[in-house]
Homo-oligomer: A and B are copies of this chain.
């Protein structure tokens, strides 16, 4: 990947129109998260959010079709995917995956990271949001399986590949749950540990 791939790093020269849109979207989400934190998710209505962001409800719904999207929407997935594809083929899959996650996290500014942590916490805390987050995770699993297949030079339809992807996601999810219960822990640390469990093989456990 060229060091300044426009699809990844550069915001790609936007016209005034797109710049305003991005600005509006960011403003809406920021206000929404603030209100969710202050008054609680279900106690905050879409109308209140629209009012806070100074847009009409219609506009709010055009940017965020559902209330959950206000918590879930971000654009880290393509960054992750790019980072993974940038890994050299000779490095083992799970190591490559780990590296991709690490690199992506490293590329996020402290403020954005803080916001991401808040969103993650809300995602696990509010049942409706959690449900939709998991649904998104499931589709992500498909994407990851495809990337794994490509990295390994195998068919993306291969059950073994999909099981591997599912196991990886399941493991990380468990790690996240671990983190929710223990907020002072580092989510990255735990995720890495979880993946190492998988790399070392659950062999020790599966026999006993």
Contact = CB atoms under 8 A, between A and B. Distances in A.
A168 B173 CA distance: 12
Nearest to A182: B157
B190 A159 contact: yes
A61 interface: no
A167 B162 contact: no
A138 to B, nearest CB: 6
Contact of A160 (B93, B94, B159, B197): B197
Interface of A is mostly: helix
B165 A174 contact: yes
Contacts of A177: 138, 142, 162
Contact of A202 (B138, B198, B205): B198
A49 to B, nearest CB: 21
A164 interface: yes
Nearest to A134: B134
B92 A208 contact: yes
* Residue among A94, A132, A148 with most chain B CB within 10 A: A132
Contacts of A207: 92
Contact of A132 (B131, B152, B159, B205): B131
A43 interface: no
B206 A201 contact: yes
A167 B174 CA distance: 9
Please list the 5 inter-chain residue pairs (A to B) with the smallest Cβ-Cβ separation, ordered nearest first: A170-B170, A166-B174, A166-B170, A134-B134, A131-B131
